[in-house]
Each structure stands twice: as structure tokens, then as C-alpha cells.
Amino acid sequence: MNLEDMDITVDGAALLDEVRRAITRFVILPSEHAVTAVVLWIAATHGAGALHFFPRLVIRSPEKRCGKTRLLDIIVALCRQPLPTANISAAVVYRVMGGEDPHTLLIDEADTIWGSKRVAEDNEPLRGLVNAGFERGRPTYRYDAQARRIEELEAHGFVALAGIGALPDTITDRAVNILMRRRRAGEKVDPYRSRRDGEPLADLRDRVNAWMAGSFEELRKAAPDLPVDDRAADVWEGLVMVADLAGGRGRTARVLPPWR
């Protein structure tokens, strides 16, 4: 029998549970709500082509060795079309983001970009672009002097940022915010080694992608029941749509953490 003739139903909830286990194997997150939010955010990157909003994921810590970079490593391994970097210019963002299947931009050491007033002022164009890319259909315009024409450029797509301390509030207002902490006594995780662990995570990533790719029409038609409004609703819309897809409507209010 051909695969096309078989009724293959993917258990989305079970698949997201696998993503949860993959994350918590290597990283301690501050709460179950935080784990759920990260799982849904990763899955949502695979549905970017069907979504209108692209919430930022801000991973902050008050000090070193809280696991923020390790969490970013796992997200890189599991998300759609990752572009990991420790720094990036606005000009590059114009060229790599946007489109029907946008990349996922992951910026580590984001505090070196916006951690002080002086460097933040130097990086204002990048902040504005990260903010504009939160929503599809918010183009920016640049004049191409060589071609003598105006370029219309979109930079939408998912962005994760990790850093120590505070980040600009215009970014965090568009974000799922995770405040990491150091592991407590007795809390243990497995060491992450990309050469050993990369292949199983890549297999899981591909299965999540296949599930989400087969659900685009359902996502496009979704009208999630959101217990929040305004900007918070924009942030959580896509994640609740993924939760609805996996677990059924009426079960997703619990994914919204109380701190949001």
C-alpha cells in the first residue's frame, strides 16, 4: 500500500510532549508555564507561513550560568530555519527575514546590543526592525541608490533573544518573557553535546515541521478564544492556535502563564 493511501494521523499533543522532554532533559526552566510557552513557541516557528504575528521569545537571566545559552542551543536545534548569532546588523535582517517561510533569528548576548544606553542608541535601527517584524505586513522602505528605486522590505519572522539583565521594553512587550535562574541543589540535567544529541533533535524537529506543514489551512482559519486582549493577545495568538491544534479548543487557557 502506498503511503498516500494510508490514513496517518499525527498525535500533536504527544509530539509536543516529546519536545517538552527534549528541552527539560538539558535545561531547568523556572516553571511549567515557561516550559509550555517555549514548546509552543518552537512549534509555532514551523507554522510561520500561516501566522500573522511572530512573538519574540526573550530569555533573560540576572547573572551568568543560568542556562539561557543552553536553552537557546536547544531551540536552535528544534526550530524552523534557525539563524543563530551573537550580533547582527539591521541591513542583514532586511535580507534574511520576511517572505512566506521566514527564518527564525536567534540572538545570544543581546545585552551587548541593548545593555547600556550608549550601545542601545547605536542599535536603534535594529530595535525598530525587531519590533516591526513582530507582525506580517509592516514593511520598511529603503532607497536603493544604485538601482534608483525604493525598496519595500519586510522583516517579519520569529526572533529569540537571550541576555543578562534588561532588554528594551518595546521588545519585551512583544515577547514571551522567560526569566531563568541557576539550578538548585539536587536539580540535574544531562550535558548537551551537539555531535551526540543533534541527530535525535533534528529528527524531532522534522516531525514537528511535517505536522505543522500539514496543518497550515487549519491554522489560517483558526479563531482562538483568548483570555487576554490587545498586545498580549497578539503575542499569544499563534501559540494558542498551536495548543488548540494539538489538544482541542477549550483546553488552552492554561498555557497562558499568570505572569503574562
**Domain-wise residue ranges, the chain:** 3-255
Q: Please, which residues bridge with residue 141 across strands? A: 152
The Cα–Cα gap between 131 and 138 comes to 10
- Domain at 3-255, CATH class: alpha beta
Q: Is 146 exposed, middle or buried (0-12, 13-18, 19+ CB in 10 A)?
A: exposed
Whether residue 48 contacts residue 213, with contact meaning beta carbons closer than 8 Å, is answered with no
Task: State how far the alpha carbon of 32 is from the alpha carbons of 39, 45, 200, 209, 215, in Å.
Answer: 11, 20, 23, 24, 26
CA of residue 248 relative to chain centroid, distance: 22
Low-confidence ranges of the chain (pLDDT < 50): 1-7, 249-254, 259-260
Specify the pTM.
0.90
pLDDT at 248: 58
Q: What is the pLDDT of residues 150-205, one digit of tens each?
A: 988 888 999 999 999 888 999 999 999 999 999 888 889 999 998 899 999 999 99
State the DSSP H helix or E strand holding residue 29, giving kind and residue range, or none if neither: none
The alpha helices in 79-215, defined as continuous H runs, are: 90-96, 111-114, 117-122, 124-132, 169-172, 194-213
> What share of residues in the chain are helix, strand, coil (percent, to 5)?
45, 15, 40
